[in-house]
Amino acid sequence: MTRLGAVLLVLASASCTSAPLPRSDAEALEPKAGLPRGGQLRAGGVSAYRVDLAAGQLLRAEVTQQGVDVGVTVSGPDGEVLTDVDGISSPIGTEHFEFAATTSGAHRIEIRPGRSADPSASGSYSLWVKQVLSPEQTARLTVIRDREAAAVEWISDHAVRLRTAEAGNGFEDMQPLRAIVGDARVVALGEATHGTREFFQLKHRMLEFLVSEMGFDVFGIEATMPQSFAVNRYVLTGEGDPAAALQSLGFWTWSTEEVLDQIEWMRRYNADPSHERKVKFYGFDMQSLPPAIRVVVEYLSEVDPEGAAGPIETLAPLRRPFIANALAGRSTASGDELAQAVAEALHLFDEHRTEYVARTGLERWAIARRHGEVAAQNLASAAMPMYPVRDSAMAANALWILDHEGPDAKMVVWAHNGHVTHRPPAMGSRLRDALGSDMVGFGFAFDRGSFRARDAETLAGPYVYSVGAAKDGSLPAALHAAGLGIAALDLRAVPAEGPVADWWSAARPTRMIGAVFGSQSEFAFYTDVSASSDFDALLFVDSTTASRPLTGPGAVSAAKETHTEPGDLDFERARPGEPPVGWFRAFRVGYPYDRSSESLASFGLEIVAGDSEPYQGSVSAMISHPEGTRGGEGAGVLGQRVGAQDYRGRTVRIRAALRAELAPNGHAYLFLADPLRAIEVAEVPPGATDWREYEVVTHLAPDAAAIEYGLALEGDGRAWIDAVSVEALD
């Protein structure tokens, strides 16, 4: 019996065949959950058990088979066959079965070789009684199953079945979606994981349909706004490298073949002169502070260098990622000062709008000012719980994009189910409050398959994970039972009353996997969702595969090893040209670090040990990023992570010798960080090409888990590190 085949099981599934009455040679089995009974099963043999049940009771059990395929037959007291199960045609696996007693008395359970078993095969089995329900419980279960059966039938009857998830296959099968979208100006597309190929492809196909058939002309994705303008420039003009622009968004989740295919389609659409309305690309997230500050500072420095001197001076250091992390992570007083400087900058934008617009035009003014809002959102998220602040900010940015593009603009929004949902305080709820029926939200679901995610505990990866069929009683299990394949479902068509309405009104477990996953705790990645109130519609893919990274299947970041104590601080254990021993290498655009060798190479970074002019001994370590290679807003990092047990609540100092040969945009730092809190840095002065000693001091929190320290390089150039020491000063 398959799961959800069990959900829809007719409780007394009697067949016309008969079996012998239960015999006394059957082993007695207690009617309650307990330890397994097991034994050997030889070719042609049968093991029999006897269990006494009252009429109306229901017994659930399973047989684990090892070495031989088994089947299970259950007979009632009168010999009538109640269930006959032989679903697993493999010598390894588990057969699930259940049956309801129609009359009181002894019931016989026979375990025998399955129909597909090798006639000469033998093996072992274990029989587990998992649950025994009372007649009252069975009656309640019958009501629940009747509702689910009605809901599955309704789903099957009302689903819009789609031929494929892939774009470029016409729109004939998608025409019924017109009625779901209606006159909406925003269509929000969720996803049940951040790493599913078919979800990304289906979103591409939805965008193609909505642009080509329904007049949509704006696309927004769950990525930071400032970096998205490079992608927009490419889709509008063809300028730049689309893969480089995509990777510079700083989200490994979107650095995939599927998203790049969509960007390339947007470019082809815009390049067609017959398409007068062009499709634009935006990010609406706010997780990266330095690029937002850079736009604000550069704009004010151009239009009002004297009047804006105060905020320019305060904010200018935040243009650099490591300095921004150091400043933003310090005291509340410092954070208030930065937020006040951003507020003052926004005030200048508004107070001097007329003169600023006269100098730069309305478009540049509006975009620069929005970057100021993004900076304010980012700083606010550091002082308050991230989730509600971020969702509020993303909704505000999406609404600004819609307003900025004009009253006729129609926008497709790409984000996770958890952001698209109408449930407060999610972004989708705020969009619904602002737009009403002008916003339509699609949740996504899948039953089984593969996806990419980082490890939930170590953040290593992303790895490809696979999950089997969704658990019984879940939303994706019902969608699978309806035989949908790939389909859309209008949830606004759910009846207002009756068993179908009752089924949909209940919260049901649904897979909710973001950028991380833990295969050892799969059920932890379900969330109870009231789908008909959380979304306007669903898009379902029965079986999925993992998204395909641009940097290839080997682009996996290893976990940062946490050492018990500092080690190889002079790099003498390393061979020249190879990675330093016991140190992690990383490229940081967003968070977390990307530690894959492929990503380092794709961004032009080399982080190795070398024997050229070390500070002491025979080896030092180097980070190199030549001019003209890709870098985005990131930094190359060579670091070591050590458990904080010897440093908690104490003042810690790191010392090291550094030298650097930097391009005008280059910066090199010695850093010391509590990874979950602040980071402190010492910067190599411009032009300091000789070896010098630097130090960083910080006070570690009493509950700190680890410290990280090492060398960071922003921009272009080379930087070296040697002779590192770490000590507690008190």
CA–CA gap between residue 579 and residue 21 (Å, rounded): 73
DSSP code of 700?
P
Do residues 540 and 425 both lie within one domain? yes
Last residue of some domain: 332, 358, 391?
391
The pLDDT, as a whole number, for residue 16 is: 34
CB 77 within 8 A of CB 50: no
Q: Is residue 8 part of a domain?
A: no
Last residue of some domain: 391, 413, 430?
391
CB 383 within 8 A of CB 335: yes
- Which residue in the block uniquely carries the two structure tokens 């007049």? 215
- Other Cβ atoms closer than 10 A to 19: 18
Do residues 586 and 624 both lie within one domain? yes
Q: Are strands 584-588 and 635-643 parallel, antiparallel or unpaired?
A: antiparallel
Tens digit of pLDDT for each residue in 600-636?
776 788 999 999 899 999 999 999 998 866 555 568 8
CB 566 within 8 A of CB 724: yes
Domain count, the chain: 4
- Other Cβ atoms closer than 10 A to 431: 28
Do residues 382 and 269 both lie within one domain? no
Do residues 368 and 330 both lie within one domain? yes
Q: Return the CATH number at 378.
A: 1.20.1440
The H or E element spanning position 100 is strand 92-100
What are the E-state strand segments in 153-308?
160-161, 186-189, 218-224, 280-285
Do residues 469 and 600 both lie within one domain? no
DSSP code of 279?
P
pTM of the predicted protein model:
0.82
Do residues 356 and 256 both lie within one domain? no
Q: Return the CATH number at 615.
A: 2.60.120.260
CA–CA gap between residue 173 and residue 212 (Å, rounded): 14
CA–CA gap between residue 526 and residue 529 (Å, rounded): 9
Do residues 573 and 707 both lie within one domain? yes
CB 610 within 8 A of CB 577: yes
Last residue of some domain: 544, 579, 594?
544
The pLDDT, as a whole number, for residue 329 is: 58
Do residues 689 and 621 both lie within one domain? yes
Do residues 615 and 709 both lie within one domain? yes
The pLDDT, as a whole number, for residue 283 is: 97
Q: Is residue 44 part of a domain?
A: yes
What order of strands is seen across the sheet that includes strand 27-28? 27-28, 47-53, 105-113, 70-75, 81-85
Do residues 624 and 608 both lie within one domain? yes
How many residues in total does the chain contain? 730
Q: Is residue 514 part of a domain?
A: yes
Cβ-count burial of 292 within 10 angstroms (0-12 exposed, 13-18 middle, 19+ buried)? Answer: buried
3-state secondary structure of 508: strand
Residues with pLDDT less than 70, the chain: 1-24, 88-89, 117, 328-335, 385, 552-559, 588-599, 602, 628-634, 676-677
Which residues form the domain of 498?
172-192+202-286+405-544
Read out DSSP for 133-168? E-HHHHHHHHHHHHHHHHHHHHHHHH-EE-S-SSSS
Q: Return the CATH number at 418.
A: 3.40.1660.10
CA–CA gap between residue 550 and residue 247 (Å, rounded): 9
CA–CA gap between residue 343 and residue 290 (Å, rounded): 16
| Positive/negative CA dihedral, 686, 691, 697, 698 | positive
Do residues 440 and 528 both lie within one domain? yes
- Which residue in the block uniquely carries the two structure tokens 């799961």? 3
The pLDDT, as a whole number, for residue 345 is: 98
Q: Is residue 483 part of a domain?
A: yes
Do residues 282 and 430 both lie within one domain? yes
3-state secondary structure of 575: coil
